[in-house]
Amino acid sequence: MKIGAALIPLVGWAGTVGGPEGARNLHLDAIQRLIKDFGLQAVELNGDFTTLFPDAFDEGYYKRVAELQQGLGFACTVHLPFLWLDGLSLAEPVRKATVQCMAKVVELTQPLSIESYVLHLWGMWSSLLATIQVMPDEEKRPLLDGMLCCAARTLDEIGGMVSPREVCVENLERFPLKAILPLVAERDMRVCLDVGHLAVDGGDALEFLRQHWELIGEVHLHDALPEGADGPGVRDHLSLGSGQVDYAAIMDRLAEGGYEGVLILEMNTEAHLRESVERVRPWL
C-alpha cells in the first residue's frame, strides 16, 4: 500500500495566486513537501486546475512534475476534472465537453508514470435527478436509463484514452454506485473507494471491501459525519478520528488483504492533513 495525499490542503483552489508561474511553483513545492516533509509515498494531482487555469497548469507544468517524480520516486495518481462537468449528462454537448476536458488532462500527464485516473462519473444535476427530484416513476425511469447509456458512452471513450485498468470510478453521494458497477466490471475498469463519501451515504467500508475487493483500484480516506450527527448538515473531508469512520479497522483490512494500490488522504486544510498523517503513520 502506498499512502499519499491530494495537494488541496497545501495549495487551496486559488490557482491564479502569483500568476501562472507562481501557481505552478506553489504546486511543485507542495508535491515536494508531501514527500519530504510529510513522509508520504504518493501524490494525487487534480485535473480541475488544468481545466480552470490552463495558462498555469499546462504541458510545462506536468513535465516539471515528471522531473520531480523521477527524482523523488513517488507514486502518482490523477483525479480527472469534475467541477461543472457531468459524464452522465443527457445534454450531449455537456457530456462531450466533459470527456474533452478529461482527454486534455490525460494528454498532458503522459510524461508521468500514473497509477490510476480517478473519475467522478456524474455531476450535481445527475445526483439531483437520481435521488432528490420528485417525479413519478414512469417519468424518472426513462431519464435514469438514458443517463446509464450516457455513462456507458463516457466510460468507453475514457477507456480509449488509457488502459481501462487505470480508470477508477469513485463512489459519490446520492447517485447509486451499484447501478454503475456492472458497467465498470464489463470494461475491466476499477473503483476508487471513497470511505468518507460512503460513510455520508450510510455505507460500511469494510463490507464494501468484502464485496468488491477485486474491483478496488484506489482508496480515498477522510473522516465524515452524516446528516444529523453532532449537528446539522453533512460533513466530510475531516481529519481522521474526528468523525464516524473507523479508519484503523480499514487500514488493517487493507494491510491484511495485501492491498498494493494507492491510498490518498483527502483533507481540506494542512492542519487536518498533519493530524491524519500521524494517525496513519503506523501503516507507512
Q: Mean per-residue pLDDT for 84-97? A: 97
Q: Mean per-residue pLDDT for 234-242? A: 86
Per-residue pLDDT for 235 more than 90?
Answer: no
**Burial per residue of 109-127, b for 16 or more beta-carbon CB atoms within 10 angstroms, e otherwise:** beebebbbbbbbbbbebbb
- pLDDT for 169-198, tens place per residue? 999 977 888 899 999 999 999 999 999 999
Q: What is the pLDDT of residue 136?
A: 83
One-letter identity of residue 65:
V
Compute the CA torsion angle 46, 84, 205, 148 (nearest 10 deg).
-120
- pLDDT for 6-46, tens place per residue? 999 999 987 777 799 999 999 999 999 999 999 999 999 99
Q: For residue 94, count CB atoms less than 10 angstroms from its CB and return exposed for 0-12, middle for 13-18, buried for 19 or more.
A: middle
Q: What is the pLDDT of residue 227?
A: 62
- pLDDT band with cut points at 50, 70 and 90 for residue 51: very high
Q: Mean per-residue pLDDT for 38-63? A: 97
Q: What is the pLDDT of residue 15?
A: 73
- pLDDT for 102-119, tens place per residue? 999 999 999 999 999 999
Per-residue pLDDT for 132 more than 70?
Answer: no
Neighbours of 88 (CB within 10 A): 27
Per-residue pLDDT for 232 more than 60?
Answer: no
* pLDDT > 70: percent of the chain: 96
Per-residue pLDDT for 234 more than 90?
Answer: no
Domains with residue ranges and CATH for the chain: 2-283 (3.20.20.150)
Q: What DSSP letter does each residue of 100-164 carry, written as one string?
A: HHHHHHHHHTTTS-EEEEEE--S-HHHHHHHHT----HHHHHHHHHHHHHHHHHHHHHHHTTS-G
